[in-house]
């Protein structure tokens, strides 16, 4: 099977005798100077991750009693410090912690309070504002960052996945791709596809880029009859999602783009709404998160990973008490997971509010002690040098970033 | 001027190898006032029937909550599961039937208009099985009014329970109403929610460039108070929520005596007949059917027809269909994903016989999910402004790759005996078949690629 890179596409087109100026399929994607070497990956954890189970505050005297089932056993092998331990499903990330490439922010949240709806909570998280603009007029904070990155092009930022990401939606042009789109054609089919597009510049240009993107996921675009079942391969990408490997395909694709001219990638991971039997139901999403981070690291390679920061954010935390069905319900203060070679990690950031009855928010939730937007703002400040006033005013529409936590190296 | 193939492609649901195209503009218009054969053949339950599913579901949830830990809880759990499964199956049928209507219709214009107006009056449920209620809403509030007067559709949509839920009207309470005062005595605040009022002015009637002020939004929101849902999720006008006194919207005063739904409908009728509404509707229809930047004279002809007939829609459609700019041979607009998929199936002859027995899972994998990847998850636009119209939104690498992937996979999944690509090219594009597409269909190495090349050709993707 041949790998059909964009270069290959150009070469093949030349064989067909098209002049590069005339064929819209051949418009090269020009890249202006990209905004620096730093990369930012923002992962939205949809469904409200239970931070207290991910980053377990064993040092708090009230913790075990609040969670008789979930916090029954303290595994010293997973200790991050005297105070905190990691969830067993993230054990593979311990080496990153040791190297300072993993960190956490505890007891943080968006300004959203009280109604605890996933729908509104995620919209507030991605819009990055205190109140929601009416639907249809919403934009995401990462999109509002784009005009402030010198030399930014649509390819500078990628929203990945099948679902629309409000986080990157808005007026600034960005790129979208869903790695469960796969296209496989015979060489002849590809040539004929180009032929049918030759008189329509708009279609031709977008299709050329589509072919290049579809080919960059590692399994090529062209198919030689006899090489196996093309159809099942193409279906395979669609079905990867149902086999639970979609996150790896996304991580692969993200790494591919970040190694080139892309600087910002955003996607989401789902499955965090663990109302029942959390000891079991949290395993899959946490393992997927761990795998995604490790996969990104290896696929980016050391030089790019050194410049990369990963922010994992969720719409809100969950109740500090275990509920009647071995799970937890919607809460307020939550946890942010940080990773990357650019991170000054090996730390748990944020002020710990305590778990005593009077320490809690409405006597049920972890009290938020910081605004999750401030951490994101500092990551953008330190990654791209965007002025603080721009972040506070234009990107987040009225945020106080506070003092610098010295997030990155 | 009139051309039967353009009529099918641009104003209908695509060419069909089996169904005859309309013979004239009069033919197209007559189809809209004829009995709704597709609704008969592929029924979708109206909201008034669907709402019982929601109330049953809520009752089961209450049962679970009240009987936690007892034996009765399991029974309510089972009930909830059954209701929810049945609602999901119904939703699958709505999807299947709305596609079949496009595929089997000889009046494609009706299906296109049903979509257009459903989008203009976007509303959907935000929780649990109410999320499946969009088709029932359209069936009840939109479809019966397509060939009628705009104001009747406006009133049906704006006062519909699903709209009152979607745009938060059911929470809105007049600040001076008896209900707000009662709440205040208990230390609670109940007040106005402007969401519906704002969207009625901005999206449904005058348009964003209409000459209205924030004061008009607030006044209309006050006028709207009283509209809410009863326990059975049917429409209810509740006097205790209504703001006392008259409201002034665009300089005209409404109400003042006892709160009355008639004052609300009077305001909606006035808004419907406003010149800015005529301009907005004409512009939007022309954009949807003809081009992103439609011919100014076409829009003007439609606008004048609207105003001359007090917002009767048939004369507006007639003005559009009798204007030469509507029949320019070069297709400008790109098909939305739902138009693309349905017209592809129609051209392939994949209709009732096949889809009626297609399993729900196949339907999901081959039609429902691909629409999502093409950027148009079925009936789920992000905001109340509906789907974007501009071509540049839809011609992106991801969305085009998704269309190509669908064109390669779906036809052979749904139909074992794919047509000869040369015949298919002819059937799908008729006299508009470009030579390069005819060549590609002939030169393809195998049938499925040949079929896919026809479907993804710009000539097929544009309408």
DSSP B309: T
- The token duo for A244 is 């639970």
Lowest mean pLDDT among A4-13, A76-85, A110-119, A162-171: A4-13
Q: Which element (helix H / strand E) includes B349?
A: none
Contacts of A184 in chain B (CB under 8 A): 408
Name the closest residue on chain B to residue A132, using Cα atoms: B195
Residues B453, A180: C-beta atoms closer than 8 Å: no
Q: Which of A372, A396, A379 is nearest to A308 (CA)?
A: A379
Name the closest residue on chain A to residue B413, using Cα atoms: A231
Contact status, residue A39 vs residue A304, Cβ threshold 8 Å: yes
pLDDT at A9: 38
Assign A223 a pLDDT band (cuts: 50, 70, 90). Answer: low
Nearest-CB residue to B391 (from A198, A202, A324):
A202
Residues 6+ apart with CB under 8 A from B69: A324
pLDDT at B416: 84
| pLDDT, tens digit (0-9, with 9 covering 90-100), for B63-85 | 999 998 899 999 999 999 999 99
Q: Which of B202, B180, B201, B181 is nearest to B192 (CA)?
A: B180
- The token duo for B409 is 């996979």
Nearest-neighbour CA in chain B from A213: distance (Å)? 8
**Higher local confidence (pLDDT), A366 or B256:** A366
Region A30-46 average pLDDT: 80
**Euclidean distance between CA atoms A256 and A259, whole angstroms:** 5
Region A181-204 average pLDDT: 91
Per-residue pLDDT of chain B (463 residues; tens, 9 = 90+): 999 999 999 999 999 999 999 999 999 999 999 999 999 999 999 999 999 999 999 999 999 999 988 999 999 999 999 999 999 999 999 999 999 999 999 999 999 999 999 999 999 998 889 999 999 999 999 999 999 999 999 999 999 999 999 998 998 999 999 999 999 999 887 889 888 999 999 999 999 888 899 999 999 999 999 999 999 999 999 999 999 999 999 999 999 888 899 999 999 999 999 999 999 999 999 999 999 999 999 999 999 999 999 999 999 999 999 999 999 999 999 999 999 999 999 999 999 999 988 898 899 999 999 999 999 999 998 788 899 999 988 999 999 999 999 999 999 999 989 999 999 999 999 999 999 999 999 999 999 999 999 999 999 999 9
B372 touches chain A (CB under 8 A): yes
Region A21-38 average pLDDT: 52
Lowest mean pLDDT among A208-212, A349-353, B57-61: A208-212
Residues B449, A203: C-beta atoms closer than 8 Å: no
pLDDT at B45: 97
Supply the DSSP string of B174-236, one letter for each residue. -TTSHHHHHHHHTT-------HHHHHIIIIISS-TTSS--HHHHHHHHHHHTTEEE-TTS-EE
Q: What is the mean pLDDT of chain A?
A: 86
- The residues pairing with B236 across neighbouring beta strands, listed in sequence order, are B228
- The residues pairing with A313 across neighbouring beta strands, listed in sequence order, are A44
pLDDT at A235: 58
pLDDT at B190: 85
Residue A14 has pLDDT above 50, yes or no: no
Terminal-to-terminal C-alpha distance of chain B: 16
Domain A35-180+242-395 in CATH 3.40.1620: no
B200 touches chain A (CB under 8 A): no
| pLDDT, tens digit (0-9, with 9 covering 90-100), for A278-300 | 999 999 999 999 999 999 999 99
Residue A30 has pLDDT above 50, yes or no: no
- HEC per residue, B70-114: CHHHHHHHHHHHHHHHHHHHHHHHHHHHHHHHHHHCCCHHHHHHH
Residue A5 has pLDDT above 60, yes or no: no
Residue A394 has pLDDT above 60, yes or no: yes
pLDDT at A245: 79
Nearest-CB residue to A183 (from B372, B401, B444):
B401
Nearest-neighbour CA in chain A from B291: distance (Å)? 15
B440 touches chain A (CB under 8 A): yes
Q: Domain locations in chain B?
A: 164-272, 337-461
Contact status, residue A104 vs residue A310, Cβ threshold 8 Å: no
**Higher local confidence (pLDDT), B51 or A243:** B51
Nearest-CB residue to B405 (from A182, A189, A197):
A182
Q: Which of A226, A273, A240 is nearest to A118 (CA)?
A: A273
**Euclidean distance between CA atoms B261 and B158, whole angstroms:** 12
Contact status, residue A58 vs residue A74, Cβ threshold 8 Å: yes
Contacts of B452 in chain A (CB under 8 A): 189
**Euclidean distance between CA atoms A368 and B355, whole angstroms:** 52
Nearest-neighbour CA in chain A from B38: distance (Å)? 32
**Euclidean distance between CA atoms B235 and B160, whole angstroms:** 7
pLDDT at A162: 78
B32 touches chain A (CB under 8 A): no
Residue A21 has pLDDT above 60, yes or no: no
The rounded percent of chain A whose pLDDT value lies above 90 is 66
pLDDT at B174: 94
Assign A12 a pLDDT band (cuts: 50, 70, 90). Answer: very low
Contacts of B68 in chain A (CB under 8 A): 324
Contact status, residue B353 vs residue B20, Cβ threshold 8 Å: no
**Euclidean distance between CA atoms B351 and B362, whole angstroms:** 15
How many angstroms from the chain centroid is the CA of residue B61? 30
Contacts of B449 in chain A (CB under 8 A): 185-186, 188-189, 192
| pLDDT, tens digit (0-9, with 9 covering 90-100), for A48-93 | 999 999 999 999 999 999 999 999 989 988 999 999 999 999 999 9
Nearest-neighbour CA in chain A from B12: distance (Å)? 23
């Amino acid at each position: 099977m041949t790998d059909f890179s964009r270069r290959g596409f150009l070469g093949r087109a030349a064989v067909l005798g098209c002049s590069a100026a005339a064929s819209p399929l051949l418009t090269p994607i020009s890249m202006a100077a990209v905004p620096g070497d730093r990369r930012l990956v923002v992962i939205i954890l949809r469904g409200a991750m239970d931070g207290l189970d991910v980053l377990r505050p064993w040092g708090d005297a009230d913790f075990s009693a609040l969670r008789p089932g979930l916090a029954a056993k303290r595994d010293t092998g997973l200790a991050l410090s005297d105070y905190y331990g990691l969830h067993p499903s993230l054990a593979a990330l311990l080496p990153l912690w040791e190297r300072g490439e993993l960190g956490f922010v505890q007891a943080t949240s968006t300004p959203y309070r009280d109604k605890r709806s996933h729908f509104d909570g995620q919209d507030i998280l991605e819009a990055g504002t205190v109140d929601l603009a009416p639907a249809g007029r919403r934009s995401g904070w990462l999109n509002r960052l784009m005009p402030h990155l010198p030399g930014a092009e649509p390819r500078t930022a990628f929203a990945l996945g099948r679902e629309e990401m409000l986080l990157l939606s808005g007026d600034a042009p960005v790129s979208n791709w869903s790695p469960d789109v796969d296209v496989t054609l015979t060489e002849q089919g590809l040539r004929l596809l180009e032929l049918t597009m030759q008189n329509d510049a708009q279609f031709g240009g977008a299709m050329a880029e589509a072919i290049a993107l579809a080919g960059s996921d590692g399994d090529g675009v062209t198919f030689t009859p006899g090489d196996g079942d093309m159809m099942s391969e193409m279906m395979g990408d669609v079905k990867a999602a149902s086999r639970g490997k979609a996150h790896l395909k996304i991580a692969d694709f993200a790494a591919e783009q970040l190694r080139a001219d892309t600087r910002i990638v955003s996607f989401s991971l789902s499955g965090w709404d663990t109302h029942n039997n959390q000891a079991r139901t949290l395993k899959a999403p946490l393992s997927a998160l761990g795998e995604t981070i490790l996969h990104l690291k290896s696929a980016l390679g050391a030089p790019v990973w050194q410049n990369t920061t990963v922010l994992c954010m969720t719409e809100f935390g969950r109740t500090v008490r275990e509920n009647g069905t071995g799970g937890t319900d919607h809460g307020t203060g939550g946890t942010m997971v940080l990773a990357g070679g650019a991170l000054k990690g090996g730390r748990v950031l944020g002020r710990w509010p305590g778990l005593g009855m009077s320490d809690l928010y409405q006597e049920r939730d972890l009290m938020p002690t910081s605004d999750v937007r401030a951490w994101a703002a500092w990551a953008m400040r330190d990654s791209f040098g965007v002025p603080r006033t721009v972040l506070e005013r234009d990107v987040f529409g009225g945020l106080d970033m506070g003092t610098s936590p010295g997030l990155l190296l | 001027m009139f051309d039967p193939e353009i009529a099918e492609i641009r104003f209908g649901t695509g060419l069909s190898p089996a169904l005859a195209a309309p013979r004239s503009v009069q033919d197209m218009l007559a189809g809209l006032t004829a009995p709704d054969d597709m609704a008969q053949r592929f029924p979708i339950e109206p909201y008034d029937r669907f709402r019982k599913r929601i109330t049953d579901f809520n009752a089961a949830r209450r049962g679970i909550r009240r009987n936690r830990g007892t034996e009765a809880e399991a029974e309510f759990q089972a009930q909830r599961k059954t209701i929810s499964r049945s609602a999901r199956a119904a939703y699958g049928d709505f999807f299947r039937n709305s596609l079949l209507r496009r595929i089997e219709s000889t009046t494609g214009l009706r299906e296109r208009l049903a979509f257009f107006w459903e989008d203009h009056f976007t509303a959907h449920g935000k929780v649990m099985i109410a999320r499946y209620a969009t088709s029932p809403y359209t069936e009840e509030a939109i479809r019966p009014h397509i060939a009628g007067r705009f104001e009747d559709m406006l009133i049906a949509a704006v006062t519909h329970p699903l709209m009152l839920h979607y745009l938060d009207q059911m929470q809105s309470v007049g600040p001076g109403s008896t209900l707000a005062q009662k709440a205040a005595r208990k230390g609670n605040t109940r007040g106005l929610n402007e969401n519906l009022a704002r969207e009625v002015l901005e999206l449904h009637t005058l348009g964003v460039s209409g000459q209205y002020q924030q004061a008009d939004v607030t006044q209309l929101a006050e006028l709207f108070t009283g509209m809410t849902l009863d326990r059975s999720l049917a429409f209810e006008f509740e006097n205790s929520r209504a703001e006392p006194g008259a409201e002034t919207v665009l300089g005209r005063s409404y109400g003042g005596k006892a709160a009355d739904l008639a004052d609300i409908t009077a305001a909606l009728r006035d808004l419907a007949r406003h010149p800015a509404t005529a301009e907005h509707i004409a512009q939007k229809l022309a954009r949807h059917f003809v081009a992103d930047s439609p011919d100014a004279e076409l829009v003007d002809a439609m606008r004048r027809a609207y105003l001359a007939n007090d917002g009767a829609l048939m004369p507006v459609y007639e003005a559009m269909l009798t204007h030469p700019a509507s029949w320019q041979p070069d297709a400008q607009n790109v098909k939305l994903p739902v138009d693309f998929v349905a017209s592809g199936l129609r051209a392939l002859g994949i209709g009732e016989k096949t889809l009626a027995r297609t399993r729900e899972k196949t339907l999901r994998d081959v039609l429902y999910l691909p629409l999502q990847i093409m950027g148009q998850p079925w009936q789920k636009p992000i905001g109340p402004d509906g789907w974007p119209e501009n071509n540049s939104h839809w011609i992106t690498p991801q969305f085009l790759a998704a269309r190509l992937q669908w064109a390669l996979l779906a036809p052979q999944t749904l139909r074992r005996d794919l047509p000869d690509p040369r015949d298919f090219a002819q059937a799908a594009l008729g006299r508009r078949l470009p030579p390069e597409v005819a060549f590609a269909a002939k030169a393809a190495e195998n049938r499925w690629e040949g079929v896919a090349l026809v479907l993804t050709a710009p000539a097929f993707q544009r309408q």
